Amino acid sequence: MNRDKSHPPVKHGKIGVLLVNLGTPDGTDKKSMRRYLKEFLSDRRVIETNPLVWWPLLNGVILNTRPKKSGALYASIWNNEKNESPLRTFTRDQGEKLAIALGDLPDVITDWAMRYGQPSIASRIDALKSRGCERILVFPLYPQYSATTTATVNDKTFEALQAMRWQPALRTVPPYFDHPQYIEALASSINQHLATLDFEPEKVIASYHGIPKSYFTKGDPYYCHCMKTTRLLGEHLGWPEGRLMATFQSRFGPEEWLQPYTDKTVEKLARDGIKNVAVFNPGFVSDCLETLEEIAGEVADAFRAHGGEKFSHIPCLNASKDGMMVIETVVRNELQGWI
C-alpha cells in the first residue's frame, strides 16, 4: 500500500514523562488572578460544598474581592526577572533537570504542566503525542495523596484523553510519602539548613497544606500520609520526641480543617516561652505562595508578635540535588516494564 505523501509520517515509539504541579496565575493583575482563582475554586474536588450554595458565593463575592488581595500577595514573591511565579520557575527547572538526568534513556521525553493555569495538562499531553509518545507517565507532584490534589490531576488527565480518538497508554505515579529517598532528602535538606543558622530551633514544624476535616472523615488518606511522613522523618533524624511537630496551614472558610493549625501552633509556642523555631513544608515539592508568603511571612510575623524571637523557614526541595534525586528515583521505578 502506498502511503499518502500529503501527510507527514506519524512519530512513534517514544515514552513521555509529564510532571504536574498545582498551578499558577499568569500575572498578578486582577484579570489574571480572577481567571486562575475561578478555575481553581470551581474544581469540585477542591470545593465539595453544594454548588447551589457555592456558585453564588464564588461568582458574586469571592471572585470580585479576592483577586486584588491575592494579586498583592503574589506580587510580594513574584519572580520579576522571568515575570512568573516561583512555582512555575521551580517546576520548569525540575522538568529540565529531569530530562538531563534521564539522558541515558533516549526514547523518554520529559515535560511539565500545571493543573490550573498554563501550561495545561491537555496541551502538554498533545505536545508529547506529537513527538511520538505512545506511552505517558503522569507524575502529580504531591508526596501525600489527597483527592484535592493527586486525584484532580488524574481527573484532568483522563478528561484530556476523552477528547482523543487515538489515546496513548497511560500510567499515573502513586503517592510517595514514605519513600526512603524522599525521607532521606527531607532529612538532608533540614540538616543542611539548620547548620547555616546562628541559633538552634527548639521546635521544628512540618507544616502541611490543610484540607477540611470532613474530607478526611469521608475517606481521604491525606492526614494519615502526613502523619507517617512526619513519623518516619523524626525516626530518621533521631531527634527526641516532641522536637518535630506536624501542623496544617492555609485553611479558609468557616468549616473545621485538619488540626493542629500552623498559625495557632506557633502563637501558642511563643506564648509558652519557646523562642526559636524552624518550619518546613514536606507536602510542597516546590516553594510557592503558601510557603514563601504564608509561612516565611505571615506565620513568622505571628510567632514574633506573640513573643517568639528567631524564626527560619526551611526551603522546599525544589530542583535541588536531593529533590531531583527523589523525582528521578520515583520516575525510573514507575517506568519499569516500559523501558
Q: For the chain, list the domains and their CATH numbers.
A: 14-175+322-334 (3.40.50.1400), 180-313 (3.40.50.1400)
Q: At what angle do helices 30-41 and 63-75 cross, to 10 degrees?
A: 110
Please answer whether residues 270 and 307 qualify as being in contact, where contact means their C-beta atoms are separated by less than 8 angstroms: yes
Q: What pLDDT, on a 0 to 100 scale, did the predictor assign at position 4?
A: 56
Q: What pLDDT, on a 0 to 100 scale, did the predictor assign at position 7?
A: 59
282-295 average pLDDT score: 98
Rg over alpha carbons for the chain, rounded to the nearest Å, is 21
298-326 average pLDDT score: 98
Residues with Cβ within 8 Å of 239's Cβ and at least 6 positions away in sequence, in order, are 204
Residue 23, classed as helix, strand or coil, is strand
Half-sphere exposure of 282 (CA within 13 A, CB side): 39
> In the predicted model, is pLDDT for residue 33 greater than 90?
yes
Q: Give the predicted TM-score (pTM) of the model.
A: 0.94
Say which residue, 6 or 158, is predicted with more confidence.
Answer: 158
Residue 205 Cα to chain centre, angstroms? 18
Cα(10)–Cα(7) distance, integer angstroms: 9
Q: What pLDDT, on a 0 to 100 scale, did the predictor assign at position 53?
A: 94
Cα(167)–Cα(235) distance, integer angstroms: 44
From the list 60, 93, 74, the residue with the least C-alpha distance to 25 is 74
Please answer whether residues 131 and 109 qualify as being in contact, where contact means their C-beta atoms are separated by less than 8 angstroms: yes
**250 CB neighbour count, 10 Å cutoff:** 18
